[in-house]
A and B are shown apart, each in its own frame.
Chain A
Amino acid sequence: MSLRLGAYESVIGLEVHAELLTASKIFCGCSAAFGAPPNQHTCSVCLGMPGMLPVLNRRVVEFAVRAGLATHCRIAPVSRWARKNYFYPDLCKGYQISQYELPICEAGWIDVPLEGGAKRVRLTRIHMEEDTGKNIHDAHGGGSLVDFNRSGVPLLEIVSEPDLTWPAEAGAYLRTLRSILQYLQICDGNMEEGSFRCDANCSVRPRGATALGTKVEIKNMNSFRAVERAIAYELERQVRVLEEGGTLVQETRLWDPDREETRPMRSKESAHDYRYFPDPDLPPLALPASFVEDVRRTLPELPDARRARFVSALGLPDYDAEVLTARRDLADYFEAVVAAHPNAKAASNWVMGDILRLVREQRLDDAPTITRWPVTAAHLGALIALIDGGTISGKIAKTVFEDMLGSGDAPAEIVERRGLVQVSDEGPIVAAIDRVLAANATKVEEYRGGKDKLFGFFVGQVMKATGGKANPGLVNDLLKRKLAG
Chain B
Amino acid sequence: MKLSVDRIRHVALLARLALTPEEERELAATLDQILAHMDTLSRLDTTDVEPTAHVAAVETPWRDDVVTNAPDTAALLANAPARDDDLFLVPKIID
A residues near B (Cβ < 8 Å) are: 22-24, 28-31, 37-44, 47, 55-61, 80, 85, 87, 89, 135-137, 140, 142-148, 265-266, 268, 271, 273, 275, 278, 280, 282-286
- A145:B87 contact, CB within 8 angstroms: yes
A147 to B87, Cβ gap below 8 A?
yes
Q: Which residues of B contact A268 (CB under 8 A)?
A: 94
Kindly state the separation between the CA atoms of A87 and B61 in the bound complex, as whole angstroms.
Answer: 29
Contacts of A89 in B (CB 8 A): 88, 90, 93
Least distance between B90 CB and chain A CB atoms (Å): 4
Stretch at the interface among B18-26, B31-39, B40-48, B71-79: B71-79
Q: With a CB–CB cut-off of 8 A, which chain A residues contact B91?
A: 143-144
Q: Which residues from A are CB-within-8-Å of B94?
A: 266, 268
Band of interface residues on B: 35 or more
Q: A144-B91, A146-B87, A147-B87 given as contacts; is B63 within 8 A of A57 (CB)?
A: yes
Could you say which residues of chain B place their CB within 8 Å of the CB of A265?
95
Is B16 an interface residue, CB under 8 A from the partner? yes
Contacts of A87 in B (CB 8 A): 16
CB distance A148 to B88 under 8 Å? yes
Query: Please, how many angstroms separate the alpha-carbon atoms of A44 and B59 in the complex?
Result: 24
B62 touches A58 (CB 8 A): yes
Residues of A within 8 A of B89 (CB): 140, 143-146
Query: In the complex, what distance in Å separates the CA atom of A135 from the CA atom of B84?
Result: 13
Contact of A38 with B53 in the complex, beta carbons under 8 Å? no
Q: Which of B53, B64, B68, B92 neighbours the largest number of chain A CB atoms within 10 Å of its CB?
A: B53
Q: A39–B14 contact, CB under 8 A?
A: no
| A286 cross-chain contacts in B, Cβ below 8 A | 59-60
Instruction: Please tell me if the beta carbons of A58 and B95 are within 8 angstroms of each other in the complex.
Output: no
| Contact status of A29 and B66, CB under 8 A, knowing A87-B16, A146-B88, A275-B14 | yes
Chain A residues near B88: list those with CB within 8 A: 39, 89, 145-148
Are B93 and A42 in contact (CB-based, < 8 A)? Answer: no
Quick check: B53 and A142 within 8 Å, CB to CB?
no
Q: CA separation between A42 and B72, bound complex, in Å?
A: 8
